[in-house]
């Protein structure tokens, strides 16, 4: 699974888009993000689904509060994504520890830049 996150500094939300490549056809209703003792659930939109040889490739989008994103990446333990769908074919994903460690550092820098931009915007 690959993910990309769009955070707009003028809004309090983050758009998360992810690409899932799996062997079965599914219909995703929502995504649960599990992080230690917290479970957050958000509606998911399937942007497209396409057949790739024996696999299905899905592009999924969800919008979550900015504070939820900062909470997820502040945690040293990797999050776990769980897809929820009508056919009870739930999928689980969690990044590898090395990937998580690197991504957390990158996101920490991004959150700092966002905070500077927001401070500058309110000072004007």
pLDDT (tens digit per residue) in 38-73: 899 999 999 999 998 999 999 999 999 999 999 999
Q: 73 lies in which domain range?
A: 2-118
Within a domain: residue 124?
Answer: no
Q: Are 73 and 111 contacting, i.e. CB atoms less than 8 angstroms apart?
A: yes
Within a domain: residue 101?
Answer: yes
Within a domain: residue 123?
Answer: no
pTM: 0.78
b or e along 26-51 (b: 16 or more beta carbons within 10 Å of the residue's beta carbon)? Answer: bebeebbbbbeeeeeeeebeeeeeee
Q: How far apart are CA 84 and CA 86, in angstroms?
A: 7
Q: Are 81 and 92 contacting, i.e. CB atoms less than 8 angstroms apart?
A: yes
- CATH assignment at residue 50: 2.60.40
Within a domain: residue 90?
Answer: yes
Q: Are 23 and 56 contacting, i.e. CB atoms less than 8 angstroms apart?
A: yes
In the chain, the number of structural domains is 1
Q: What is the pLDDT of residue 84?
A: 75
Within a domain: residue 50?
Answer: yes
């Amino acid at each position: 699974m690959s993910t990309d996150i769009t955070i707009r500094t003028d809004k309090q939300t983050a758009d998360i888009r992810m690409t899932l490549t799996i062997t079965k056809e599914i219909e995703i209703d929502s995504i649960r993000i599990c992080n230690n003792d917290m479970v957050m659930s958000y509606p998911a939109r399937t942007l497209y689904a396409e057949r790739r040889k024996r696999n299905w490739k899905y592009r999924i989008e969800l919008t979550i509060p900015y504070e939820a994103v900062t909470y997820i990446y502040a945690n040293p333990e990797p999050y776990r994504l769980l897809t929820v769908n009508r056919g009870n074919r739930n999928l689980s994903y969690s990044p590898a520890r090395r990937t998580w460690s690197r991504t957390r550092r990158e996101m920490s820098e991004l959150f700092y830049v966002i905070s500077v931009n927001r401070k500058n915007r309110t000072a004007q």
